[in-house]
Amino acid sequence: MTQNVDAQEVIETRNCTAWMGRNRVIWIKIKPVDHHTLQDAQALVDAHNRLAAGTPCRVMCDMRHAKVGADSQARSYYVGPEASKLKVAMAMIVSTRTQRFFGNLFLRLNRPPYPMTLFRDPADAINWLEGFPEPVSG
C-alpha cells in the first residue's frame, strides 16, 4: 500500500501506522499487536484527526496484519463522536475469514455513524471510497 503515500507526515503509534494518501484518503495500517485497548484506539484516532487537520476524510484501514480485535471500550470509542467527526467513510481491508467475521460482528454491534464496509481487495475498497465526494476544507 505504500504506493499511495505522498511525501507527507507518517504517524506511528503502538498499534498502527497512519498517513495521508492521494485524494485526501487517510491510510491506517494496523500492526500485529497482542491487544487493542481504549488507549490504542485513542492514539489511532488522534493520528487520524491530526492528519485530517479539521477536514473530514475518507479512510482506508488495512487490518490484514491484525492478530486481535479491539476490546469493548475501544470498539465503543471508534463509533463515538471524537472518532467519527472527521470521517466521511471507511473501508476496512481484511484477509482471513476470522477477520471478516469479527469485522461484520463489529458492524452489527457497534454500527458507526459513517458508511463502513469490509473488502478483501484494496482496489475495490478505493473504488468504493472514491464514490464519496472528496472533502473540501471548510
Tell me the per-residue pLDDT of 19-72, one tens digit each, with 9 for 90 and over. 999 888 999 999 998 888 999 999 999 999 999 999 999 999 998 998 877 888
pTM, full prediction: 0.86
- Model confidence pLDDT, tens digit, residues 103-137: 777 777 778 899 999 999 999 999 999 999 876 66
Rounded CA-CA distance 59/52 in Å is: 10
